[in-house]
Chains A and B, each alone.
Chain A
Amino acid sequence: DQQVKQNSPSLSVQEGRISILNCDYTNSMFDYFLWYKKYPAEGPTFLISISSIKDKNEDGRFTVFLNKSAKHLSLHIVPSQPGDSAVYFCAALGTSGSRLTFGEGTQLTVNP
């Protein structure tokens, strides 16, 4: 039972354009959401997070949007840079403390 889903395994965008990565969840007990970025041979690196009491959180080029009614969140990267090329994981936290539930990941490729 995949409670967090990233339906796009890959995404390719041009440098300077916007990258939009999507994530859906099914468990209404999730109340905190995070995005992690992962390069090959490295562990995931925390990128940005959002609490369920907000609908938007922004940090530099990265913005996360949360639509609770649709159980959907998205990560926007503007402008995209070649160094952003990595696998992006959406993750959710519920009432069970620090237990992260991850999506399957989306491979983002930013072409120069």
Chain B
Amino acid sequence: KAGVTQTPRYLIKTRGQQVTLSCSPISGHRSVSWYQQTPGQGLQFLFEYFSETQRNKGNFPGRFSGRQFSNSRSEMNVSTLELGDSALYLCASSRTGTAEETQYFGPGTRLLVL
């Protein structure tokens, strides 16, 4: 069974640009969550999607948005990039996203904002 895949793996952008990251969950998984990992803040929850609906949202500005498609693939978008957005962006999938259900992480997309 293929794991969670994320594309691209690495990305370099400049301030003010926007970026779109993609996540393909494990087959059969309908819940996709996004996390940002930075050296100073650790892993922080961005948002969760289930059946094309945002079900949960973390404390990030509106520049961070996402969506989920009918095949459960998810994208996240960051507009007007800032230097502080440089981070590893991880997505995780699970069958239904209920508590205590194991979440499986992808390898992440490393974003560098210059």
Contacts and interface: CB of A to CB of B under 8 A. Distances in A.
Interface of A: 31-32, 36, 41-46, 49, 51, 89, 91, 93-105
Interface residues of B, number: 27
Interface stretch (B12-20, B43-51, B75-83): B43-51
A100 B104 contact: no
Interface residues of chain B: helix, strand, loop or mixed (majority): strand
Given A98-B94, A99-B48, 12 more contacts: A44-B43, A45-B105, A97-B99, A98-B97, A98-B98, A98-B101, A99-B45, A99-B58, A100-B35, A100-B43, A103-B42, A105-B42
B100 A93 contact: yes
Interface string B81-113: 000000000101010011111111111100000
B53 interface: no
Contacts of A51: 100
28 contacts: A31-B99, A32-B100, A43-B4, A43-B90, A43-B106, A43-B107, A43-B108, A45-B105, A46-B102, A51-B100, A89-B42, A95-B99, A97-B98, A98-B31, A98-B56, A98-B99, A98-B103, A99-B33, A99-B56, A100-B33, A100-B35, A100-B45, A100-B92, A100-B103, A101-B45, A102-B42, A104-B42, A105-B42
